[in-house]
Amino acid sequence: MPPIENSNLSTLLDLKSIDFLSVLNLLDDGVIIADINGTVLFYNIAQSLIDGLVPEDAIGRKVTDIYELNNRSSMIMQVINRHASIKNRAFFYRVRSGKVANTITSVYPLLNGGIVNGAICFVKDYELLYQSTPMTSITESRPDLGNGTLHTFADLIGSDPNFQRVVGTARKAASSSSPIMIQGETGTGKELFAQSIHNHSRRRKQKYVGINCGAIPHDLLEGILFGTTKGAFTGALNKPGLFEIAHGSTLFLDEILAMPLDLQAKLLRVLQEKQVRRVGSDKEIPVDVKIISSVSQDPRGAIQENRLRNDLFYRLGVVMVKLPPLRERQDNMNELISHFIQKYNNLLGTNVNYISEKVLELFKTYQWPGNVRELEHLIEGAMNMAGREETIGTKHFTAGLNSLEPLNFTSLSTTISMIQNPVTPRLDDPAIPDPNWPNNFAQTQADWEKSAIRSALTATGGNVTKAAKNLGISRQLLHYKIKKFKFFRTDFIH
């Protein structure tokens, strides 16, 4: 067939007749289209998986109502207000429902006659990108270990005794064939621990297999796990499931609480009988698989909420590995910061050697809802802004900080915003008597903290554990504050 002439192209393909929204709904990337006011007009299936929302709960609502963002921190609103695109920016945000997302986001203005009347946003799930992209483009340059993994116990950063105790438990459990359940908040490194356990086991030469149960539609998850038989349903083929693929190796079931209860019952049967039956088949296939599962909340609470079968928990949680959140690892903060600075210096060609005391102080009083992953993203973003500078300061952090919440006293984003954009008050404003109010605010906050900690220690006779509980903070953070304010616990013993 001769090539099609360009002049004939319009007769073969009428762009106006194409249903582009249907195409956008099939993309693996999340897509949001909003009007000039930030009201969502289109929200595809991939975005609903990233955010944990159904499209009906997003369409017709403003982006600032869906996400914990404002007109300044929302990328969509930035593009609409500034009439400029944002491309491939690492963005960490929280949905109003509570889910935290780590993404690579691009937003473009939509023009009509040269006038901006909305924006289209493309969102890549950072975790899926991390798993599917050659690591030279998104993290440090290191090869796959030859078995589908990238991490070993040597990659676990932190000399804190409590953290090392957790690592020791994981090391010991690796030598056993018993199932392991990893409990940890979002961003604490559950996948990293799972890979490390596999690489410390006798199965390390076999291909590691992992799946995020929360990222797969429920009606597809059964076939993916157990395999399918041709004719079992429309389009079904003879295909092995992950249990067969992981035979002789390790299968990591991430976010097991996202698995529906009826499928949990089938999983329990496979674990008990060590045999799998493909969907639509009556043939039993023997499997030898070491199961590592993960949960992001207390599994016993999930049992009470009817999200986890009691009998499945006892089968999967033979060994429990509970990962501490970053707010309880303050002693490891400097080690983690140094690690990420070195990592992104190598990746970005930057020359950062230090982090300012002001930033470090903010880091150590912040809750870190996204834990170590959030810390890494913030440092990566700041180093992109730092260029050839040697020290990361508050000026290098982007508006994405405004989506985050504080542990106590004030938020990291609010404080950084105050430092970056000090407000010049009217001299006749009685509510703000001093033009240097941002510095006074910081001092007032420090004085309040010092007074609150002194009162808590006095009330508990110097008992740090009780004082931390009364203050609603971790023991590690209280120890840091005691050192900062030069308190001596013995001064409070009755």
User: Which CATH number is 245's domain given?
Assistant: 3.40.50.300
pLDDT score at 431:
39
Q: Does 240 share its domain with 349?
A: no
Among candidate residues 384, 336, 344, the one with its CA nearest the CA of residue 364: 336
Contact 99, 50 (CB under 8 A): no
Q: Does 169 share its domain with 310?
A: yes
Q: Residue 183 falls within a domain, yes or no? A: yes
Q: Residue 445 falls within a domain, yes or no? A: no
Instruction: For residue 360, give its domain range.
Output: 327-421
pLDDT score at 492:
79
Q: What is the CATH number of the domain that holds 360?
A: 1.10.8.60
Using a CB cutoff of 8 Å and minimum separation of 24, what contacts does 5-9 make? Answer: none
pLDDT score at 419:
43
Q: What is the CATH number of the domain that holds 92?
A: 3.30.450.20
Q: Does 219 share its domain with 259?
A: yes
Among candidate residues 227, 241, 324, 247, the one with its CA nearest the CA of residue 291: 247
- The CA distance from 243 to 270, in Å, is 9
Contact 195, 154 (CB under 8 A): no
Among candidate residues 324, 350, 369, the one where a domain is terminated? 324
Three-state SS annotation for 390-416:
CEECHHHCCHHHHHCCCCCCCCHHHHH
pLDDT score at 372:
93
161 CB-side CA count, 13 A: 1
Q: How many CB atoms are closer than 10 A to CB 232?
A: 16
Residue 226 backbone phi and psi in degrees, to 5: -105, -10
Among candidate residues 185, 206, 191, 200, the one with its CA nearest the CA of residue 153: 200
Q: Does 165 share its domain with 221?
A: yes
Q: Strand pairing partners for 120? A: 33, 108
Q: Does 41 share its domain with 114?
A: yes
Going by their DSSP bridges, the two strands 30-35 and 354-355 should be labelled as unpaired
pLDDT score at 92:
76
What b-and-e string marks burial along 2-40, b requiring 16 or more CB atoms within 10 Å of the CB? eeeeeeeeeeeeeeeeeeeeeebbeeebbbbbbeeebeb
Instruction: Report residue 6 as tokens.
Output: 């360009």
Q: Where are the alpha helices (DSSP H) in 177-217?
A: 190-199
Q: Residue 44 falls within a domain, yes or no? A: yes
Distance set, CA 365 to CA 54, 94, 158, 370 (Å): 35, 20, 19, 14
Q: Residue 377 falls within a domain, yes or no? A: yes
Among candidate residues 277, 301, 324, the one where a domain is terminated? 324
Among candidate residues 307, 324, 341, the one where a domain is terminated? 324
Q: Does 353 share its domain with 299?
A: no
Q: Does 119 share its domain with 140?
A: no
CA dihedral over 145, 148, 150, 154, signed as positive or negative:
negative
Q: Residue 274 falls within a domain, yes or no? A: yes
Domain count, the chain: 3
Q: Does 192 share its domain with 288?
A: yes
Q: Does 114 share its domain with 210?
A: no
Q: Strand pairing partners for 275? A: 286
Three-state SS annotation for 444-468:
HHHHHHHHHHHHHHHHCCCCHHHHH
Q: Does 146 share its domain with 119?
A: no
**Run of H or E residues at 227:** strand 227-228
Q: Residue 376 falls within a domain, yes or no? A: yes
pLDDT < 50 stretches in the chain: 1-11, 130-142, 400-442
Residue 91 backbone phi and psi in degrees, to 5: -140, 125
Determine what percent of the chain falls in helix, strand and coil, rounding each to the nearest 5. Answer: 45, 15, 35
What are the strands of the beta sheet with 86-94, ordered from one edge?
40-43, 30-35, 115-125, 100-112, 86-94
Q: Residue 169 falls within a domain, yes or no? A: yes
Q: Does 172 share its domain with 297?
A: yes
Q: Residue 473 falls within a domain, yes or no? A: no
Q: Does 266 share its domain with 153?
A: yes
